[in-house]
Structure 1
Amino acid sequence: MKDFYQPLIESSEIIKLLRKERQLKPFCQQVLQKKVIDKAAEERGLTVTPEEIQAAGDKLRRDKRLEKAADTIAWLAEQMISVEDLEAGICDRLLWQKLAEHLFAKDVEKIFVQSKLQFDHIILYQIIVANLQLAQEIFYEIKEGEISFFDAAHLYDIDETRRHLCGCEGKVYRWALKPDIAVAVFSAKPGEVIRPIETERGYHLFMVEKFIPAELTPERYQEILHNLFNEWLANEVNYLLYNCKV
């Protein structure tokens, strides 16, 4: 770090700014997390090989289209890090993943099965208007074929962005919806318009375009694994802090 900004910036100035911006605690939490991970990995005999670091580094360069050595050097300079810094960061991330797999890989499928319904999702459209009378009028006009759901959303929705999208909310998970709304939309048939539902935002009309049952995809696997590991890591850091104060 010294090579990049000293003597213009001292380390003490960085810490002072972190304090002022209320970012010192998150930064210290990351330091403690690394200590916990390093200790837990060492206790379990988990290591990262030079070949694994090289493979991950090559992937990073491909992802960032750093085709030539000069491109990589320029990118490192822009990031204010050295090759050693980059490799150390890659090593930390690989060790994080290895430890997460070691601790919780066996639990991912069980957690997925237990909460599978929450991972079901839909392609959802909705219209929100300010009063019940208008919502009911729109509902019956759509039911009678006097206007399409998409045209009604484009004309009447209170949100400008959703008007431009003709009511499209895109992919929505069951857990992201309020319980009463989740029951209504997941009980409907594709293309069916649901009667107005009142919330603090107004009166909602919903239409489900498509139901997508939950699958344990590689992305979902990593999401569950990360959640389990992050919960464990937070508890370990809190335990470390508690013992430090005792």
Structure 2
Amino acid sequence: MKETLEKTELQLLQEFALPEISPATDEEIIAYLRRSYQVAEIAAKTERDALILGICEQFGVTVSDEELQAAGDEFRLEHTLLGASETLNWLSFQRITVEDWSSGIKVSLLTKKLKEFLFGAGVDNYYINNRNNFKRVALSQILVRELTEALKIAHAIRQENASFCALALLHSKGKQSKENGGFAGIRFLSELMPDIAQTVSKAKEAEVIGPIETTLGYHIIKIEKWFPSELTESVREEIFESLFQGWLQERLNLELRDKKL
């Protein structure tokens, strides 16, 4: 009897035809953003781009056709869009036009050129004055919620020579560190939480520090390796972004204040 019912249910499911779903319209996409509470986030990004474009116009920061073409070629290479058909298929999948795509590349280029226009001359000095923030460190961590547990783990590592990796796999509540046996990656000091960065900056290779309390819980950290500080292209880009975001936030705050007056 049960087997017969299961077969009947299966037949009904197989015979049931799903309704045809048409591609979502722009209005339907906007409605989804509203009901999923994402409008504020998208609106903020839209307003940021509008502010950047306005500032570029004020300062005379422009993008040439040659620069736009080169950026487009670089984008296609990066995304393996090596021919016209691959590019058109990608545009179709993204539901955008060639003009939309070109506009996005142009905004990215203008943003990059504005950063260079505003801060290009000051990056070296900023790096020199904040060199320690750009030291890189490879570290492992065990994150737990309770201080008692953290103290037991730290004692086991220091006094009983317990395996940091094994304890991370057993106890860490941090998803990345638990999955990787404690290893949390290579980070700039400036990327770490302030309380952690302050303690880590004074530690030596192979040293285990903590527990350090943060809003996330208690961290036991092992310094795997220090890397020398150097002004690489990625560090330069991080400095540009940091300076630019701070400057841009000031402009936004001023604009909001002026609107209130």
TM range (shorter): 0.7 to 0.9
Say which is worse superposed, 111-120 or 79-88, in terms of deviation.
111-120
1:199 aligned onto 2:213: yes
Deviation at 1:45, TM superposition (A): 2.2
| Distance change >3 Å, CA 39–CA 185, structure 1 → 2 | closer
Cα deviation 1:178-213 (Å, max 9, x = unaligned): 53x54554434322444x535367765433221113
Question: Which residue is equivalent to 1:232?
Answer: 247
Question: Which residue is equivalent to 1:209?
Answer: 224
Question: Which residue is equivalent to 2:235?
Answer: 220
User: Using the alignment, how far apart are the partners of 1:66 and 1:197 within structure 2?
Assistant: 49
Which consecutive residues of structure 2, in runs of 5 or more, have no partner in the other structure?
1-21
Structure 2 SS opposite 1:38? helix
- Tell which has more relative contact order, 1 or 2 (C-alpha 8 A, sep 6+): 1
1:41 aligned onto 2:56: yes
**Paired residues, what number?**
233
Deviation at 1:127, TM superposition (A): 4.1
The one-letter code of the counterpart of 1:197 is P
Deviation at 1:240, TM superposition (A): 3.5
Deviation at 1:73, TM superposition (A): 0.9
- Asked if structure 1 preserves the Cα contact closer than 8 Å seen for 2:150 and 2:219, the reply is no
Deviation at 1:167, TM superposition (A): 2.5
| Distance change >3 Å, CA 14–CA 238, structure 1 → 2 | farther
Question: Which residue is equivalent to 2:16?
Answer: none
Question: Which residue is equivalent to 2:183?
Answer: 168
Say which is worse superposed, 46-55 or 107-116, in terms of deviation.
107-116
Question: Which residue is equivalent to 1:139?
Answer: 158
| Distance change >3 Å, CA 182–CA 59, structure 1 → 2 | closer
Question: Which residue is equivalent to 1:29?
Answer: 44
The one-letter code of the counterpart of 2:186 is K
Deviation at 1:227, TM superposition (A): 2.1
User: Using the alignment, how far apart are the partners of 1:228 and 1:199 within structure 2?
Assistant: 29
User: Using the alignment, how far apart are the partners of 1:30 and 1:185 within structure 2?
Assistant: 34
| TM-score w.r.t. length of structure 1 | 0.77
User: Using the alignment, how far apart are the partners of 2:158 and 2:100 within structure 1?
Assistant: 59
Structure 2 SS opposite 1:100? helix
Deviation at 1:53, TM superposition (A): 0.9
Which consecutive residues of structure 1, in runs of 5 or more, have no partner in the other structure?
1-5
- Asked if structure 2 preserves the Cα contact closer than 8 Å seen for 1:139 and 1:205, the reply is no
User: Using the alignment, how far apart are the partners of 2:258 and 2:167 within structure 1?
Assistant: 60
The one-letter code of the counterpart of 2:104 is G
User: Using the alignment, how far apart are the partners of 1:127 and 1:29 within structure 2?
Assistant: 36
| TM-score w.r.t. length of structure 2 | 0.73
| Distance change >3 Å, CA 110–CA 68, structure 1 → 2 | same
Question: Which residue is equivalent to 1:3?
Answer: none
Question: Which residue is equivalent to 1:9?
Answer: 25
| Distance change >3 Å, CA 53–CA 182, structure 1 → 2 | closer
Give the fraction of aligned pairs with identical amino acids, expressed as a percent.
Answer: 34
- Asked if structure 1 preserves the Cα contact closer than 8 Å seen for 2:135 and 2:189, the reply is yes
User: Using the alignment, how far apart are the partners of 2:83 and 2:255 within structure 1?
Assistant: 44
